[in-house]
Amino acid sequence: MELESIGHPGLWIGFLAFVLAMLALDLGVFHRKAHVISLREAAIWSAVWVGLAGLFNLWVWSAHGSVKGMEFLTGYVIEKSLSVDNIFVFAVIFSAFAVPQAYQHRVLFWGILGALVMRALFILVGGAMLERFHWMIWVFGAFLVLTGVKLMLRDDSKVDPSQNPIVRLVRRVVPMTDGYVGDKFFARQNGVVRATPLFLALMAVEATDLIFAVDSIPAIFAITRDPFIVFTSNIFAILGLRSLYFLLAGVLDRFHYLKFGLALVLVFVGAKMVMLEVYKIPVGISLAIIVTILAGSMVASLMRRPSGTATTLPVNEKTRPGQA
């Protein structure tokens, strides 16, 4: 499969300028002062990001045809659904480090800014590998199937972000403050610049996205090899992740089968990559299967509660988002 892209230099520059402008507007205007993100604010921003992605999809569809339009839509749905798994882990991180509600947006903002850079590098490297070594498509596919199985078996209650190797390394080599110093990542104490626990939480968020990027980038290469479609669908999904966290983190415990749905999506996408040379599943059918799996897992969660006590995310009342 040859690498074909709708993106010319002007489109890349224009899209990157749009992303930077939106990030500047987000941090410099709407979230200049640290505050607790309410459910209403999270819902509005979630609608904004989904709406912008929808408008971009309409442009791709009208300017470059239904095939490219469907590729973007399917890639966006995959990345958006897989990003839900990040929310579970973000909740664990904020609880483990007791991050005050007012500072959580700041951590996610800078964490996701780093994620944008990492995703871009992963897409460039992944695309180059597939272009040079076609057999890597089978490696990516097998990896996604294995990742899906591991996700089914993973116990989120045993995740301890404080034991992450990156966090432990930071603690070992960087002087730390005794507690939080407002919304600062670094503060000067006794003439020494020290990192605050907020910086540790940021490192845990960055490490988490690095792990999830390894899963999600190969998944979208099963849908399209167009680097512009891969990049833009990834970025739109990531940009809406912060507001999605504040909107859903408090209720995700109700969708206890969603993790299995996400795992099945990874297995399906991995199998699609492995059998690509034998039969290429049309993008529209792939989208229908993915949406059916996700919707089915959510409906099953609402219809059948887990046996025993109710499932809850490990988020204490102090750090629970969406509470004013």
Burial class (CB in 10 A: 0-12, 13-18, 19+), 158: exposed
Residues shown for the chain: 324
Evaluate if residue 311 carries a pLDDT over 60.
no
Question: Which of 36-40, 116-120, 156-160 shows the lowest mean pLDDT across its residues?
Answer: 156-160
User: What is the pLDDT confidence band of residue 1, given thresholds at 50, 70 and 90?
Assistant: very low
Select the more confidently predicted residue: 8 or 146: 146
The neighbouring-strand residues paired with 322 are 38
User: What is the pLDDT confidence band of residue 317, given thresholds at 50, 70 and 90?
Assistant: very low
The neighbouring-strand residues paired with 194 are 187
Q: How does the average pLDDT of the chain come out, rounded? A: 80
Residue in 161, 241, 171 with CA at minimum distance from that of residue 205 = 161
User: What is d(CA 313, CA 158) in angstroms, rounded to the nearest whole number?
Assistant: 12
Evaluate if residue 256 carries a pLDDT over 80.
no
Q: What is the pLDDT of residue 315?
A: 44
Q: What is the pLDDT of residue 271?
A: 87
**Phi, psi values for residue 187, rounded to 5°:** -150, 150
3-state per-residue secondary structure call for 60-128: HHHHHCHHHHHHHHHHHHHHHHHHHHHHHHHHHHHHHCCCCHHHHHHHHHHHHHHHHHHHHHHHHHHHH
Evaluate if residue 309 carries a pLDDT over 60.
no
Per-residue pLDDT tens over the stretch 91-103: 878 888 888 888 8
147 to 129, 140, 141, 269, 297: CA distances (angstroms): 20, 10, 10, 11, 18
Token couple for 112: 């996701």
User: What is d(CA 143, CA 219) in angstroms, rounded to the nearest whole number?
Assistant: 10
Which residues, in sequence order, are CB contacts of 42 under 8 Å at separation 6+?
243, 244, 245, 246, 247, 321, 322
Residue in 323, 255, 315, 311 with CA at minimum distance from that of residue 92 = 315
293 to 21, 102, 217, 219, 306: CA distances (angstroms): 35, 35, 20, 16, 19
Could you tell me what percentage of the chain is helix, strand and coil, using 3-state DSSP and rounding each to the nearest 5? 70, 5, 25
Evaluate if residue 274 carries a pLDDT over 70.
yes
Instruction: Give the residue-averaged pLDDT of 283-299.
Output: 86
User: What is d(CA 36, CA 319) in angstroms, rounded to the nearest whole number?
Assistant: 10
How many Cβ atoms from other residues are within 10 Å of residue 18's Cβ?
Answer: 14
Per-residue pLDDT tens over the stretch 57-109: 999 999 999 989 999 999 899 888 887 777 777 887 888 888 888 888 888 88
Select the more confidently predicted residue: 22 or 161: 22
Evaluate if residue 223 carries a pLDDT over 70.
yes
pLDDT-above-70 percentage for the chain: 85
Do the beta carbons of residue 176 and residue 189 sit within 8 Å?
no
| Residue-range domain boundaries for the chain | 38-156+216-303
Per-residue pLDDT tens over the stretch 230-243: 889 988 988 888 88
